Structure 1
Amino acid sequence: MNVRRLIPSAALAAAVALGATALTACSGAAGAADGKLHVTASFYPLQFLAEQIGKEHVEVTTLTKPGVEPHDLEITPKQTAQLSESDLAFYLKGLQPAVDKAVAQSGVKNTVDAAALTRLEVHGAEGHEGHDHAAEGEAEEHGHDHGHEAGGDPHVWLDPTKYAEIAKGLGATLQKADPAHAAEYEKNTGELVAKLTALDTEFKDGLKNTASRTFITTHSAFGYLAERYGLDQEGISGVDPEAEPSPARMKDLQAVAKKDNVTTVFFETLASDKTATSLARDTGLTTDVLDPLEGITDRSQGADYFEVMRSNLKNLQKALGAK
């Protein structure tokens, strides 16, 4: 399962305060010549939220173009200038260091850090034997202490519930920024959250009864998803999909695959499948795609967040032997 370190309560309090700041910082930002709120999103999951909630009242651009691995993004002077001219910069602090730096340098007045709108945790690439998922779920309900700190796993959008929390935060921000269309932003947010709630139910039902609870992936991006649905993520590398695993790690994964009846090694569309293919070949496993949804390209198994997430669910069900 996922090694999780809980964030101290002081950090959580800071995160709540930062979230409150994010929700009020851009009040009155609307008023561009075209009447739209100009939003610069750092990468696809945030772009998708801004487009779904803002619809015709916002103009959304993204710093990470399709096909670019977000972790490796380099910001051009033109993009920094674009940020400075935006009504709102929407980013996820800690995911893309170049974006964090550009936001600070751009002088953009109104920023929303998506990480401040939910609670970050620290997940490890490796699992734990004999972990009690039910106990963890109970602890989660009773307020385990999470927060926003450097080193927290930023891949929150792969948990539909946490993604919905970010959607609510952005919706509130847009309502304050553009009061004339507040009712529409509220309506759009509600519709999007309802869809994410339905998606969460699909994952819960679809992964409730499986032959195995363990999946192996090249990119350790699925800690939140695994934790939400009682699965064990075993990452070949850490959060950097291009990192080379050690021989010892590869040997450990071979043992895990045998012990936990793993059938499939997952790779992603925006990074090399070399390590996944190598491990699969050495262990007699198959390979398939588990998409961290950091960008949409013509190779993606779907045209938007919901389609790709449902493809991920289908691939997980097949690999884990869903009944």
Structure 2
Amino acid sequence: MMSGFSRSSAVGMLAAAALLTTAACGSGSAQTTTTASGSADASGAKPEVVAAFYPLQWLTEQVGGSDATVTGLTAPGVEPHDLELSIQQVTELKDAALTVYIKGIQPAVDDAVDAEKSFDAATAVTTIPAGEHAEEEGHAEEEHGHEELSYDPHLWLDPSRLATVATKLGERLATADPAHAQGYRDRAASTAATLGTLDQEFTQGLTTCKTKTLVTAHEAFGYLADRYKLKQVGITLDPETEPSPTRLSEVAKLAKAEGVTTIFTESLVSPKVAEVLASQVGAKTAVLDPLESKPSGDYLSAMRDNLKTLQTALGCTA
């Protein structure tokens, strides 16, 4: 006997409970956040996008905006060339809707990416050849386990080329997440315009300089030199490679002949060699950031700091 309830009331309550259970199960299915591939599903979940190192992470965050979840593989303060992937990072690469990288900079990333779900930024622009003494130091790269490249991979140091990459990245994200395609394209266009403004600042700021020669710790600034009609002279091709006595002598001789007053070093590279060279030449040293790791600000502020450093070192007038 069911005290206080009739048999018909009990049946009605059981039916209502069944309906509530069915609704709850259906609701749980609709809340699925991601697909196995890491791309957005019908519920509107954000696609997972992986960026190999800082400049690409900054760019991907600008273009992805609130529609994508962007993860950087290389932690601040870590040389991208030295990156070793954890098991979790390898899994992230496999599951990502898109991986943004530059082939040849990080062998571990090259080995782990899915070709069909990756975007090599170097394929979006016209590249320039590797450094002037790349052939001389090619054996050193092999010893360090790096892939010898026929082109210079540091394309992000030319804002105009990075603007082109932004546009292409917008299209790739639109393909990976069609539901938010217009948002990606709009943000890509806005980012490209911002980079265009930065490009104009560099063009105007480096037009009237006493010297056009950059003596740098390693040959990371080829695109910057190419874009703004400067001459890069790198002490080494690779930041991990010790320069030969012959190379140091060559650079010192050239620096003296061209009236170089500043030898540029980097935050992630020991300044020792640059300081020795500066003492031989009678020059000073200054930090020029290749932006391979996250700076104290962001890409735009760091590039503007680089511009000020260059203007001072090269004797540029306003």
TMscore range, shorter length: 0.7 to 0.9
3-state SS of paired residue (2:218)? coil
User: How far, CA to CA, are the matches of 1:33 and 1:48 in structure 2?
Assistant: 27
> Which of 306, 311, 316 lines up with 1:317 in the alignment?
311
User: How far, CA to CA, are the matches of 1:87 and 1:168 in structure 2?
Assistant: 18
Q: Provide runs of 4+ in structure 1 moved above 6 Å.
A: none
2:28 is matched with none
User: How far, CA to CA, are the matches of 1:32 and 1:63 in structure 2?
Assistant: 28
TM-score, scaled relative to structure 2: 0.80
Change (3 A) 1:252 1:171: same
Contact 2:39 2:48 in 1 (8 A): no
Change (3 A) 1:34 1:178: closer
- After superposition, the C-alpha distances for 1:75-97 in whole angstroms (9 at most, x for unaligned) are 22221111112111111111111
User: How far, CA to CA, are the matches of 1:307 and 1:50 in structure 2?
Assistant: 17
User: How far, CA to CA, are the matches of 1:113 and 1:33 in structure 2?
Assistant: 29
Change (3 A) 1:60 1:33: farther
Note the residue ranges of structure 2 that are not aligned, 5 or more in a row: 1-36, 134-147
3-state SS of paired residue (1:208)? coil
1:86 is matched with 96
Deviation of 1:253 (Å): 1.3
Trace 1:249-268 onto structure 2 (pairs within 5 A). Answer: 249-268=247-266
Deviation of 1:219 (Å): 1.5
Deviation of 1:187 (Å): 1.4
Note the residue ranges of structure 1 that are not aligned, 5 or more in a row: 1-26, 127-148
Change (3 A) 1:98 1:33: farther
User: How far, CA to CA, are the matches of 2:259 and 2:270 in structure 1?
Assistant: 25
Trace 1:145-160 onto structure 2 (pairs within 5 A). Answer: 150-160=149-159
1:7 is matched with none
Contact 2:49 2:98 in 1 (8 A): yes
The amino acid of 1:293's aligned partner reads L
Q: Percent identity?
A: 49
1:110 is matched with 117
Contact 1:84 1:108 in 2 (8 A): no
Deviation of 1:182 (Å): 1.6
3-state SS of paired residue (1:235)? strand
User: How far, CA to CA, are the matches of 1:118 and 1:213 in structure 2?
Assistant: 25
1:274 is matched with 272
Deviation of 1:43 (Å): 0.5
1:53 is matched with 63
User: How far, CA to CA, are the matches of 1:38 and 1:269 in structure 2?
Assistant: 31
Q: How many residues align?
A: 267
- After superposition, the C-alpha distances for 1:160-195 in whole angstroms (9 at most, x for unaligned) are 111111111100111122222122112111111111
Contact 2:38 2:48 in 1 (8 A): no
Contact 2:101 2:119 in 1 (8 A): yes
- After superposition, the C-alpha distances for 1:43-91 in whole angstroms (9 at most, x for unaligned) are 1111111100111111111111111001111122221111112111111
1:20 is matched with none
> Which of 115, 123, 130 lines up with 1:123 in the alignment?
130
3-state SS of paired residue (2:190)? helix
Contact 1:67 1:270 in 2 (8 A): yes
Contact 1:158 1:224 in 2 (8 A): yes
Trace 1:241-252 onto structure 2 (pairs within 5 A). Answer: 241-252=239-250
1:184 is matched with 183
Deviation of 1:125 (Å): 3.9
Change (3 A) 1:150 1:216: closer
Contact 1:264 1:286 in 2 (8 A): yes
1:10 is matched with none
TM-score, scaled relative to structure 1: 0.79
Higher RCO by CA contacts (8 Å cutoff, separation 6 or greater): 1
Deviation of 1:34 (Å): 7.0
> Which of 63, 78, 85 lines up with 1:75 in the alignment?
85
3-state SS of paired residue (1:253)? helix
2:164 is matched with 165
Deviation of 1:33 (Å): 7.0
The structure having more radius of gyration, on CA atoms, is 2
Change (3 A) 1:274 1:309: same
User: How far, CA to CA, are the matches of 2:290 and 2:64 in structure 1?
Assistant: 24
Deviation of 1:109 (Å): 4.7
Contact 1:212 1:321 in 2 (8 A): yes
The amino acid of 1:307's aligned partner reads S
User: How far, CA to CA, are the matches of 1:242 and 1:28 in structure 2?
Assistant: 35
Deviation of 1:272 (Å): 1.1
User: How far, CA to CA, are the matches of 1:257 and 1:207 in structure 2?
Assistant: 19
The amino acid of 2:254's aligned partner reads V
1:43 is matched with 53
Deviation of 1:28 (Å): 10
User: How far, CA to CA, are the matches of 2:42 and 2:106 in structure 1?
Assistant: 28
User: How far, CA to CA, are the matches of 1:33 and 1:270 in structure 2?
Assistant: 43
